[in-house]
Structure 1
Amino acid sequence: MKQLLILLLCLLPISVFSQKTLDDLLSQYNTRSVPYISVEELRMLQKNEDVIILDTREEEEFTVSHIASAKYIGFNTFSTEEVSSKIADKDTPIIVYCSLGIRSEEIAEKLKKAGYNNIKNLYGGIFEWKNKGYPVLNTSGKETDSIHTFSKVWSKWLKEGVSVNSIKKNN
């Protein structure tokens, strides 16, 4: 009996802390109240349509790198009034993103409550964007491999690029 208990205690960390898929992670934190858009779909939209891309990460994260043409709106300091002053048409196609798509869903919900009705959340966020090999830009507008990973816990989801946890000069 004691050996069985020891075996169970040894196996418990494996089952509790085993690697989840991105879909499992997003299902754990998101309600899917806002439809997702894949990085491939966004890449095509960037080439063919006018779409507004909003970065819902913190300014420190945005300054390390962001998706081309993304506008910083933040998370902790987010203001629907500020967005409304810049985007008057509530039918405008808007894509929100963060590191993985968790914080951006919360911001998208606030935008929906403010009357915006054409919002999508980037599935996997900037991490998935970079993991698929799409470019990100630093504050100088130059392509970079650096991605602010928000925390060590979330950094495991960035498979491509250079993980940055504080502002560093991007060359």
Structure 2
Amino acid sequence: MKHFILILIALFSVELSAQKTIDDLLKQYNDKGVPYISVEELAMPKTKAIIFDTREPKEYKVSHLKNAVCVGYDDFDLASIEKNYPNKNEKIVVYCSLGIRSETIGEKLKKAGYTNVYNLYGGIFEWKNKDFSVVDIQNNETEKIHTFNKTWSKWLKKGEKVYEKEEKLSKKTKK
């Protein structure tokens, strides 16, 4: 019995330590099918890219990266993207809260023939954690960040956390 308890404690400790960093979290959920771009690189004035926010509209309304286009996740419409962004060689950066949902959308873009797609490492959380500004739906700077839910909110270190208690995890995060 004593050995069984020690094994349980060891397994529990490994599970707790498995997600000490955003890097660990992203390794757990992503397969790097879409290469990452750092928040610092995207923030550089010379970096020209179309920026797609792959979070849900209610998250986008709270705050988003300036000039980002809300493309959603649950209702992502590839046909609309292809119509409005026909140049499949143009640089596109996708992001979400942390970079998990955005990888899925980035993979869909790549399968559709887009050749220059990047996933923002750490998403809007990392953007805010590194002191870059975000804007609300009226294009005013804000400190508010929709954190999807309380569980994911632990990854946002700066800014004001906003989430709805009853939100369900997206399909990809239920793994």
TM-score normalized by structure 1? Answer: 0.90
Write out the 4+ residue segments of structure 1 that deviate beyond 6 Å after TM superposition.
none
Specify which of 64, 67, 85 is matched with residue 66 of structure 1. Answer: 64
| 1:69-80 equivalence runs, <5 A | 69-80=67-78
2:39 aligned partner: 39
- What is the CA RMSD across the aligned residues, in angstroms? 1.4
Deviations 1:15-49 (A, max 9, x none): 222242111111111110111000000001xx224
How many residue pairs are counted as aligned between the two chains?
163
Q: CA deviation at 1:113?
A: 1.1
Structure 2: runs of 5 or more not aligned: 165-175
Distance 1:7 1:31, change over 3 A: closer
Distance 1:33 1:145, change over 3 A: same
Matched residue type, 2:103: E
1:130 aligned partner: 128
1:112 aligns with 2:98: no
| 1:18-29 equivalence runs, <5 A | 18=17, 19-29=19-29
2: CA distance between counterparts of 1:120 and 1:7? 43
2:145 aligned partner: 147
1:169 aligned partner: none
2:82 aligned partner: 84
Matched residue type, 2:40: E
Q: CA deviation at 1:11?
A: 4.4
Distance 1:75 1:5, change over 3 A: same
**Larger Rg belongs to:** 1
2:169 aligned partner: none
2: CA distance between counterparts of 1:3 and 1:86? 63
Deviations 1:66-104 (A, max 9, x none): 000000000000011010111011111100000000100
Distance 1:85 1:144, change over 3 A: same
Q: CA deviation at 1:5?
A: 4.2
Matched residue type, 2:38: S
Q: CA deviation at 1:50?
A: 3.1
2: CA distance between counterparts of 1:94 and 1:157? 24
TM-score normalized by structure 2? Answer: 0.88
